[in-house]
Structure 1
Amino acid sequence: MSKPRKTEVIGVASGKGGVGKTTTSINLAVALTQLGHSVMLFDADLGLANAQIALGARAEYNLGHFLAGQKTLQEILITTRQGVKLIPGASGMQELAGLSDIQAASIVQSFGVLADDVDYLIVDVAAGISPSVLSFLAACQRRFIVVKDDPSSIADAYGTIKILSKEMGLDEIYLLPNMVKSQSEGWKLYKKLNDVCVRFLGESVHYLTSIEEDEMVLRALKKYQSVMELAPGTAAARDYMRLAEACTHLRPIDHPSGGLQFFMERLMQNSSSDT
């Protein structure tokens, strides 16, 4: 009866910075919490960890203390006022930004000992394709690539998808157009990039929804809040809620992808008991 529940693990990434990746992570986490789910957010953007600031949370300890062997993951875990369980990253620590894939793997393994039962783990990774970013993304069940409608963001998103899909053999890659003028503009951006992926990679990426441009997102960040709290009636809040609801309707992934996974023990336990 006490078997831990399955945890859906979603990695949120972007080919380049400044496209709203962390904003997406925190608002998705808050939206899922508002839907009644138990949500954990891992701020794995190690050189520029700012999820706790964006959520108005104060963390006494962070991932730096864990990596130094001073604290366990359970000891650095905090619950924000929005009800999100947060593993805070270590901001401004350059040595953490250059984390190796082996160090990343040890962090992934450590999630197995967390006592918390969670429905969703959102992993906010750094922009780009460093070894630790790729290790974290490989350890997720699904990967959301946030993209803006500008040439460099599109090129970097494609480059990230190419590495994940062709070099690493990963699937469950979703494109998330952000700061678009309308849902139809977001769909067009997805179609354009997906056509390139199909043509040159022989792979299609998935689509759930787009996030419309909304000045309230920036206003919320300045007030250390999610837009879900500050302005729930706005376009972006509506889109984040739509994204959260779409996540709840995705088919469960029952089996690990072969590599090291977040909450691996629970995934194995659940899949063996399902067969």
Structure 2
Amino acid sequence: MSSPNPIASPVRASNDPGPVRVIAVASGKGGVGKTSVSVNLAMSLQNAGQRTLLLDTDLGLANVDVMLGLSPRFTLSDVFAGRCELADTLLEGPNGLLVVPAASGKRHMTELTPAQHVGLVHAFSQLDVPVDVMIIDNAAGISDSVLTFCQAAQDVIVVVCDEPASVTDAYALIKVLSRERGVTRVQVLANQVGHPSEGRQLYDKLERVTAKFLDVTMNYLGAIPRDEWLRRAIQRQEAVVDAFPAAPASMAFREIAKRAEKWQTPNGPRGHVEFFMERLIPTTRSATA
């Protein structure tokens, strides 16, 4: 594995950094390629000139650092144990991508309280780094941590694949996010599809039941094809967009990143738990001055 490059003393890009666009990647079911989506979306945004931070919040089975060939000195587990500050966990990954790693095999990290999850969200207000966008790689399912981190983001991407349980569990996740956390907008990304039409069919199936029972605005973000080059990139511990830029999956990830770049940056706090809250407040004041 490559050696980590800790960011010892983060420096602001300016005295008043702008708001950070926060995108949470989630799935109802495990095994749909959610972490691969998070890694390659983050790397595509970084390569496009967006200063990007990738946060691993799969608190018990983290693997973002493994997928990028990084060896962290500190993880979120050390933060909660009081051994370091959040800033001490920052690694510089390929092409300048910033990574905050979680721990793997630490069962106590899956038993954190809701207050501790909210505390982690608030800790990012003190993280003094120049970042334009943050991608959150969540655990699969509907645990409190997933719900809190999705609620604290501006956009939620739900990853589905062509398995009945994937669509059923994705609906369950969206239902809980809507009814318990007030999430009203969801982006759907189909992964590992054999044909582009397959992705649209998966979305249509999910959208039909969602429109019938939930007050949620759904949007089809696109599809990532089943791609042997993606598997090879994972074996090499690299993002496919870097290892094999011409691969079909790489082209699809870059297209998804272009669409995500067009999403509106938050123009102020929404009145509940949010990442980088302090960066939203000055924007509101200046807009109303």
User: Which runs of 5 or more structure 1 residues have no equivalent in the other structure?
Assistant: none
Map of 1:66 onto structure 2 = 79
By how many angstroms is 1:99 displaced? 2.1
Q: What number of residue pairs does the alignment pair up?
A: 275
Q: Is the 8 A contact 2:35 2:64 kept in 1?
A: yes
Q: Is the 8 A contact 2:186 2:216 kept in 1?
A: no
Map of 2:20 onto structure 1 = 7
Matches of 1:117 and 1:272, distance apart in 2? 20
Q: Is the 8 A contact 1:30 1:226 kept in 2?
A: yes
Alignment of 1:188-199 (within 5 A): 188-199=201-212
User: What letter corresponds to residue 126 of structure 2 in structure 1?
Assistant: V
User: What letter corresponds to residue 46 of structure 1 in structure 2?
Assistant: L
Q: Is the 8 A contact 1:74 1:114 kept in 2?
A: yes
Q: Is the 8 A contact 1:33 1:84 kept in 2?
A: yes
By how many angstroms is 1:206 displaced? 1.4
By how many angstroms is 1:249 displaced? 1.0
Map of 1:106 onto structure 2 = 119
Map of 1:56 onto structure 2 = 69
Matches of 1:174 and 1:202, distance apart in 2? 14
TM-score (norm 2): 0.92
By how many angstroms is 1:5 displaced? 1.4
Map of 2:220 onto structure 1 = 207
Matches of 2:243 and 2:75, distance apart in 1? 26
1:163 correspondence with 2:176: yes
Q: Is the 8 A contact 1:211 1:240 kept in 2?
A: yes
- Bigger CA drift: 200-209 or 168-177? 200-209
Q: Is the 8 A contact 2:269 2:277 kept in 1?
A: yes
- Bigger CA drift: 191-200 or 40-49? 191-200
Alignment of 1:1-275 (within 5 A): 2-275=15-288
Matches of 1:249 and 1:148, distance apart in 2? 25
Q: Is the 8 A contact 2:151 2:182 kept in 1?
A: no
Matches of 2:177 and 2:284, distance apart in 1? 24
By how many angstroms is 1:47 displaced? 0.8
By how many angstroms is 1:168 displaced? 1.9
By how many angstroms is 1:252 displaced? 2.4
User: What letter corresponds to residue 22 of structure 2 in structure 1?
Assistant: V
Q: Is the 8 A contact 1:62 1:88 kept in 2?
A: yes
By how many angstroms is 1:203 displaced? 2.9
Aligned Cα root-mean-square deviation (Å):
1.2
Q: Is the 8 A contact 1:112 1:263 kept in 2?
A: yes
Q: Is the 8 A contact 2:178 2:215 kept in 1?
A: no
By how many angstroms is 1:57 displaced? 1.2
Q: Is the 8 A contact 1:112 1:265 kept in 2?
A: yes
By how many angstroms is 1:182 displaced? 2.2
By how many angstroms is 1:54 displaced? 0.4
| CA displacement 1:94-152 (0-9 Å, x = unmatched) | 11022221111111111111110211101111101111111111111111000111100
User: Which runs of 5 or more structure 2 residues have no equivalent in the other structure?
Assistant: 1-13
